[in-house]
Structure 1
Amino acid sequence: MDLDPQLAALHPLGGFFVLRTTAAGNGPAVAALPTLAQTYETLASGAPGNAMASRVAVIADRLRTAEPRVAASLAQQGLAARLWSVALGSAALYGRVPGLEPRLLRWDVSAPLPDELWLTAVRPLPGNAATLLDTVLHAHLEPLREALTSRYGVASGMLWGNAGSALAGAARELDRWARAHGRTDVAERSAALARDLFAHPLLRATGTRTGTAFRRRSCCLYYRVPGGGVCGDCCFTRPPGSSPRAASG
């Protein structure tokens, strides 16, 4: 199936999988938004008005955390989940992926998903693991990791763990949708792609996969958010420093 200008095949998947495009005539408003290329380039410098820094501040305020590195970790994981979902969903449904170059993606950090990311040109690429690695890991996650580590002191291992968790989550949700809708072909393509992606050295060490289940080897720090706990794939079974009685109660 060829990519269509609005990536309509992704819409039934909902949530993280949908990517808005400017094909519907939203150009002027979207053109004022920063690109992800600009975001990555200026984040580490501490320049004012950076989109990721604004996103980190928004998350810190919403979750009432005074630790910027916690908000930075969660912001990165959310963006990684969006990018992996769009790329994996497109590859599994279309057999092709849109070019997701940082210069083609504009980001409205104040908008809820899926309206926060806009693709300004739909350019089809092969839907294989090598392309997904180039499109997401190399083009986005590597420069973002470098910038977040420099600005917020977030550990590289944690950020790669977030990337692995985001990929595993996207694969799990796509598999669930595909099987619920009788699309075993989509489920099989998704599983094969996820297996090949996790063979990459930067992702292979992030956790252990059993089918669509994933147990990561690091923690995203969500437990440090007031009222937070451990995620379903966390390396911890309970928040560090808590007693078994407190965790169960």
Structure 2
Amino acid sequence: MDLDPELAALRALGGFFALRTGAPPRGPLPTLAQAYAPALSDAPADAFADPMTFRVRKVARSLGAPELRVAASIAHQGLAARLWSVALGCAALHGQVPDLDPGLLHWNPDGSAPDDLWLSEVRALPVESLDAVVREGHLVPLAAAVRSRHRLSARLLWGNAGSALAGSVRMLDHWARTGGRTDVAERARALAAGLLAHPDLAGTLDPSTGRRRSCCLYYRLPGSGLCGDCCFDRPPGRV
């Protein structure tokens, strides 16, 4: 099945998978290419001048994060989950992926979760492009943009990416099995296994348990617990 111009089939998979296309009706939004650009010391932290800083500060306010680096990690994982879900969903359903070039993909850093993304033009790419579209095209520059602004290790950020991919597979697997589309579930798992073999992602998850091997810092939020795939058995520093 070829990609349709509105990517309508993704909507049934849930909010992390749905991707709106065309021009945002409420006016221009910054592109992810703008969000990945280096921070300028004299640029105001608004949605267009520095979308990444704007987003991290919004997440920090919304969650009461004690440090911006905690909010940066959570914002990073949320965006990684959206990118994996869109691309993997298309790959599993259609055998193709949309061209998610950061210059074509618009982002509302002031939106709620899941991240509000708009693709200005739908161009189909072969399924073999999945790694290049997401990991190379987005996760590498996204990690660089986050690390240039906040003290986060590469291991933590790639752990976020691995966890986000595994979460996308679980959601897609549940939808596929509920709807009798075991073929879709099998393709998603096979594609994810190949993606997780790349050196950037290899070792980010425990193969026997699916738990990640680095911490996303979520436990540091007020009143929080542990993520479902947390590397810890209890929040550090708590009895």
Q: How many pairs are equivalent?
A: 235
For residues 53-106 of structure 1, what are the alpha-carbon distances to aligned partners after superposition, in whole Å with 9 as ceiling and x for unaligned? Answer: 111111101111130000000000000000000000000001111000100011
User: Structure 2: which 5+ residue stretches go unaligned?
Assistant: none
Given the alignment, which residue of 216, 228, 234 partners 2:230?
A: 234
Alignment pair present for 1:41 and 2:37: yes
Distance 1:134 1:185 in 2: 24
Listed as ranges, the matches of 1:113-192 within 5 Å are 113=113, 116-128=116-128, 131-192=129-190
User: Structure 1: which 5+ residue stretches go unaligned?
Assistant: 244-249
Letter paired with 1:187:
A
Q: Is the 8 A contact 1:3 1:94 kept in 2?
A: yes
Q: Percent identity?
A: 59
Match of residue 68 from structure 1: 68
Deviation, 1:47, is 3.0
Match of residue 191 from structure 2: 193
Q: Is the 8 A contact 1:59 1:71 kept in 2?
A: yes
Q: Normalising by the residue count of structure 2, what TM-score does the alignment of the two structures yield?
A: 0.94
Give 3-state SS (helix, strand or coil) of 2:210's partner.
strand
Letter paired with 1:176:
H
Deviation, 1:28, is 6.1
Letter paired with 2:217:
L
- Judge which range, 112-121 or 82-91, deviates more: 112-121
Alignment pair present for 1:111 and 2:111: yes
Q: Is the 8 A contact 1:20 1:115 kept in 2?
A: no
Give 3-state SS (helix, strand or coil) of 2:141's partner.
helix
Q: Is the 8 A contact 1:161 1:219 kept in 2?
A: yes
Q: Is the 8 A contact 1:44 1:150 kept in 2?
A: no
Taking only aligned residues, the RMSD between alpha carbons, in angstroms, comes to 1.6
